[in-house]
Amino acid sequence: MKRDFLAIADYSSEEIQDLLDLAVTLKKEHQAGGNKPYLQGKVLAMIFQKPSLRTRVSFDMAMRHVGGDALYLSPNEIGLGKRESVADIARVLEGYVDAIMARVFDHEHVCELARWANVPVINGLSDYNHPCQAMADALTIYEKFGSLKGLNVSFVGDGNNVAVSLMHVSAKLGANFSIASPKGYELPENAVQIAKDIASKTGSKLTFVNDIHEAVKGAHVIYTDTWVSMGQEEEKALREKAFDGYQVNDQLLTEADPDVIVMHCLPAHRGQEITDEVADGPHSMLFPQAHNRLHAQKAILVRLFGKG
């Protein structure tokens, strides 16, 4: 039976840990001279409704590293759900490729692709969540601390798709998760309920506040994201006013653990949600985190349809 990668919550804690361990192995293998051709002869179709730097390049290079190939399909080539129905696109592509990765606006589109395609479907980002980013995040934290169990992971800013997946992966792996968001920009209640259900099994503590100082107290990880995401440009002025003060700066870091690491999924709007001093400072993991997209996604690809 085929398996998809649509949400962190779809996988058990043991499966998430297995993916992390495989990512570590594949990263070391690559650094030691190259990966084995786990996906030799396999092709990944990459559907993009949104432009991308990290998602496109990391998936393309991930397939190359493990002996496969990737086919980029730009927003104008398909018109997902517009020029052609999602169900028809899924059934056409499954006859050409071995797996599909989709970076979409509407989460329902990637779910519908998975329902109709008989090949694995990977969520490269949707308006609801960003599970591939969360796996790279978890890998980065895992490499730094050796485990996520009992760590304090704090998110500062919008309760968006990145925050949803970070909350779920933290809960799955036993980390305590806190988030500080302005009123009206909190996490979706359905995503919070899922996290609470996970935390009840793993012992994670979840904290939802509006005060950033409360959220980052004793944090081992401080994570932030842009105040205005792609597709929210009309809300720019309103959001910038609401998020004023939700900035990760040197002063905020003094309230966290002395060994705190700072993370951001990028692109960053420097001077808004994060300062240059922090983004380029000694606590920053922004670029190792971005590079880990490659290795975390290799693990997902190999597990979903690899020979190894």
Q: Which residues are catalytic?
A: 103, 130, 133, 225, 265, 293
Does residue 188 have a cis bond before it (omega within 30 degrees)? no
**C-alpha atoms less than 13 angstroms from C-alpha of 106 in its C-beta half-sphere:** 9
Residue among 102, 151, 158, 154 nearest 131 (CA): 102
Dihedral pair phi/psi, residue 6, rounded to 5°: -105, -30
| Structure token digits, residue 293 | 């997209």
Residue among 118, 122, 129 nearest 96 (CA): 118
**C-alpha atoms less than 13 angstroms from C-alpha of 186 in its C-beta half-sphere:** 13
What does each C-alpha distance from 190 to 1, 18, 106, 161, 168 come to in angstroms? 28, 26, 16, 12, 12
Task: Tell me if residue 264 falls in helix, strand or coil.
Answer: strand
